[in-house]
């Protein structure tokens, strides 16, 4: 049996000394390490102090020797633990209904008193092995998730290109361990590619779609490829590889730093906002569909002329929907007001301010991945080249 290969730790909850002694002798002879507790409080204290592989416990104690209420209360407490050990309850003849109640509260099995030794040992071994297998599966799953998180963080831009006359800052606040949001900034000859996307859903499925999108964008983007052409190619790939119930909102633009002309295509994404130096606003949208729905959709290009002092704010709905859980979304208007109020800040500090305002508004409870990318048009003559850094996860950085 498994107990002969490893020493498993069993807690026996039993208030009758002779029963406790018999169980201890049986289990120790079978190769188990045994601790005993004579009351519900002692059981809970022992669990706090020591990890157990199984709990074998009676349901009736000195307060009430027939109803099993004390044992049921212990089960109710145990089921609130993150990963409680399996519990096998012991009942007297004629208390099957009580055993059923215990199973509803999380007990894995029950043994009737007086027990048959071979049957009891078989039940214990079965549930210990099952619990250990489940723990191993969870550890493996968590390891895979941790590795996926590390990979995803490496996929986010570690550096932005140095762009004379332009400052860029970007950051992503995942709602969970992994994000379905994506943003990137990359050099395309004399131009700069800018993109932001939001995959429907959260967690690992959304993150996998996001990584596929990023790969598709990287192999498709080029100085001579227009945003509409790129969206069309990526859309056809998304339609082939994506699930029918999944889609991606996506915004892609090419910025010419010399002419300050921004050419863009918006595939169903939250329209980025241009906040002019004079306070006017422009929404960057096209009448295009999200990616992954219709493979033959024809996408469209539009252009906007930027000027010194303009701020372009690209964001996912995790920013504007923040606060939805309390029926008070942060919204586009608050976002614009925040940018206008702090228009004198550089791109990184402005992004910090936006993240702080959004976090304050939603009480740091983000219901969705929240991503924001700031493009600030500065004086080309005064722009000093320096190393450019992007985001890790929460703390945004800047590029200049």
Q: Which CATH number fits domain 156-399: 3.10.310.10, 1.10.287.40, 3.60.40.10, 3.40.50.2020?
A: 3.60.40.10
What are the tens digits of pLDDT across the range 139-192? 887 776 666 666 656 666 767 788 888 999 998 887 765 557 889 999 999 999
Domain(s) labelled CATH 3.60.40.10 in the chain stretch across: 156-399
Residues 86/58, Cβ–Cβ less than 8 Å: no
> Residue 386 has what pLDDT?
42
Please state which CATH number belongs to domain 2-146. 3.40.50.2300
Domain(s) labelled CATH 3.40.50.2300 in the chain stretch across: 2-146
CA dihedral (388, 339, 359, 199) positive or negative: negative
Q: Sheet holding 248-256: strands in order across?
A: 181-188, 191-199, 248-256, 261-267, 302-305
DSSP state letters, 87-130: EEEEEETT-HHHHHHHHHTT--EEEEESPPHHHHHHHHHHHHHH
> Residue 399 has what pLDDT?
42
What are the tens digits of pLDDT across the range 252-291? 999 999 999 999 999 999 999 999 989 999 999 999 999 9
pLDDT-derived band at 226 (thresholds 50, 70, 90) equals very high
pTM for the structure as a whole: 0.66
> Residue 90 has what pLDDT?
85
Q: Kindly tell me if the per-residue pLDDT of 80 is higher than 60.
A: yes
Q: What's the rounded Cα separation, in Å, for the pair 345 and 356?
A: 14
Q: What is the DSSP letter of 36?
A: E
Q: What's the rounded Cα separation, in Å, for the pair 194 and 355?
A: 20
Which residues does 342 contact at the CB level (< 8 Å), separation at least 6? 349, 350, 353
What are the tens digits of pLDDT across the range 297-313? 999 999 999 999 999 99
Provide φ and ψ at 41, rounded to 5°: -65, -40
> Residue 306 has what pLDDT?
96
Q: What is the mean pLDDT of residues 350-364?
A: 92
Across the chain, mean pLDDT equals 84
């Amino acid at each position: 049996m498994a107990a002969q290969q490893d020493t498993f730790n069993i807690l026996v909850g039993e208030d009758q000394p002779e029963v406790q002694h018999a169980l201890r002798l049986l289990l120790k002879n079978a190769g188990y390490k045994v601790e005993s507790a004579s009351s519900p409080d002692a059981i809970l204290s022992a669990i706090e102090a020591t990890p157990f592989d199984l709990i074998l416990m009676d349901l009736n104690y000195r307060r009430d020797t027939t109803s099993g209420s004390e044992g049921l209360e212990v089960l109710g407490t145990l089921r609130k633990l993150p990963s409680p050990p399996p519990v096998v309850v012991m009942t007297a003849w004629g208390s099957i209904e009580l055993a059923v109640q215990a199973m509803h509260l999380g007990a894995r099995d029950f043994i009737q008193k007086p027990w048959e030794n071979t049957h009891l040992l078989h039940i214990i071994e079965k549930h210990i092995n099952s619990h250990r297998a489940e723990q191993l599966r969870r550890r493996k799953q968590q390891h895979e998730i941790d590795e996926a998180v590390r990979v995803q963080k490496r996929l986010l831009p570690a550096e932005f290109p140095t762009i004379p006359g332009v400052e860029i800052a970007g950051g992503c606040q995942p709602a969970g361990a992994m994000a379905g949001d994506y943003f990137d900034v990359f050099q395309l000859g004399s131009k700069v590619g800018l993109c932001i996307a939001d995959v429907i859903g959260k967690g690992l499925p959304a993150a996998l779609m996001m990584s596929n999108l990023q790969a598709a964008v990287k192999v498709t983007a080029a100085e001579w490829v227009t945003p509409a052409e790129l969206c069309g190619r990526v859309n056809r790939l998304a339609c082939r590889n994506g699930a029918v119930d999944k889609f991606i909102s996506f915004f892609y633009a090419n910025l010419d730093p010399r002419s300050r002309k921004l050419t863009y295509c918006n595939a169903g994404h939250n329209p980025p906002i241009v906040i002019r130096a004079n306070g006017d606003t422009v929404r960057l949208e096209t009448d295009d569909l999200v990616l992954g729905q219709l493979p033959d959709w024809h996408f469209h290009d539009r252009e906007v002329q930027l000027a010194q002092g303009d701020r372009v704010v690209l964001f996912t709905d995790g920013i504007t929907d923040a606060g939805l859980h309390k029926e008070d979304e942060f919204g586009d208007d608050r976002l614009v007001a925040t940018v206008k109020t702090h228009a004198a800040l550089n791109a990184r500090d402005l992004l910090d301010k936006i993240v702080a305002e959004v976090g304050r508004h939603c009480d740091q409870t983000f219901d969705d991945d929240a991503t924001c990318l700031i493009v600030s048009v500065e004086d080309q003559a005064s722009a000093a080249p320096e190393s450019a850094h992007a985001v890790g996860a929460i703390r945004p950085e800047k590029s200049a």
